[in-house]
Structure 1
Amino acid sequence: MPEYKATIEWKNPGPDFLKGRYSREHTWTFDGGLTVPASSSPHVVPVPWSNPANVDPEEAFIASLSSCHMLTFIWLAGKAGLLVESYRDEATGVMAKNERGAFWVSKVTLHPQIVWGGDKVPTAEELDQLHHRSHEECFIANSVKTEVSVSAPLS
């Protein structure tokens, strides 16, 4: 089975670490060489100790679920003879406390907007089935306990 790697790197930027006053900015470097500026979410750690311009773990989690669903969806659509011209998702995630009182991303809602090409366009039932199969076959969705739902227009 394949192995995936990411290098996460942070360095202490100053003398106030023990007082909790330090930057949470760090980098994620992936095996293909891309480095992404990351930070804690400003909803969790206030500015200036976080950087809202950087990707935070919660956003990355939501993006990972959305991306996996999309890649699975367009693959399944193509196998069904459906031409996908474009796919855009403005996915959202919600934090809540679990039974132990710890915060977690409890729900992610995908909002795919799909533009179809060609003569064959799926019915509402076929579209729903494509999303259902995509969720069931998505590697990331199979790896988490977060509720993932799709709120997609019928056309």
Structure 2
Amino acid sequence: MSFHVKVSWQGTQQPGEAFSRDHQIHFGSGQSIQASSAPDFQGNAAHVNPEESLMAALSSCHMLTFLAIAHLKRLPVASYDDQVSAELGQNEAGKTKVAAINLNPVITFAAGVTVSEEVLAKMHQKAHENCFIANSLNTVVRLHDREFNH
């Protein structure tokens, strides 16, 4: 299985001038988005930046894996909302990296379904262990202040 994305940038800057960070990302699904660097890196705040894209990919993967686990356990989920944040830091070579991504999912199960905190924690642990994106990252992932290291 493989996945494909096309990233396109067009520029017209002259030597010595600042360049536009704005670009387009075309997904294999046919969707396209406007992207840029983060505003702190001279990007366009109206566009998605790589750090947000990384956070979204991790959160989405964790959610989909969690939902698959809930489905297998016959625990119907009514809603899943996540407020994700990230922290920049430095790697061992002193280069800037996304040092930590914080997931804060709020799950509502279907009416009449009760899930203990212990079972919920085990489901999140299993979701993290089986999330393709989490398994591809070299960063700390926190889930409600519980750390998963890679």
Q: Pick the TM interval, shorter chain.
A: over 0.9
SS in 1 for 2:106: strand
The alignment yields a C-alpha RMSD, in angstroms, of: 1.2
Identity across the alignment (%): 36
> 1:12 is matched by which residue type in structure 2?
G
- 1:2-151 to structure 2, matched below 5 A, reads 2-15=1-14, 18-43=15-40, 45-46=41-42, 50-151=43-144
* TM-score, length-scaled by structure 2: 0.92
Local SS of the residue matching 1:40: coil
TM superposition shift of 1:35: 0.7
Report how far residue 20 of structure 1 moved.
Answer: 4.8
CA distance in 2: counterparts of 1:82 and 1:118, whole angstroms:
11
The alignment partner of 1:19 has SS state of coil
State the shift of 1:115 in Å.
Answer: 1.1
Q: Cα offset for 1:95?
A: 0.3
Residue 119 of structure 1: how far off its partner (Å): 2.2
SS in 1 for 2:141: strand
Listed one character per residue, the Cα deviations across residues 87-145 of structure 1 (whole Å, up to 9, x for unaligned) are 00011110001111100001001000111113222100000000000000000001111
**Structure 1 runs (4+) greater than 6 angstroms displaced:** none
3-state DSSP of counterpart to 2:74: coil
The AA in structure 1 aligned to 2:22 is E
Aligned AA for 1:63? A
Task: Give the drift of 1:19.
Answer: 1.9
Identify unmatched segments of 5+ residues in structure 2.
146-150
Q: Secondary structure at the match of 1:3?
A: coil
Name the SS of the counterpart of 1:71 in structure 2.
helix
What is the identity, as a one-letter code, of the residue corresponding to 1:75? A
Classify 1:66/1:20 alpha carbon distance in 2 versus 1 (closer, same or farther; 3 Å). farther
> Structure 1: any 5+ residue segments left out of the alignment?
none
Offset, 1:14: 3.0
Work out the CA distance in 2 between the residues paired with 1:150 and 1:56. 22
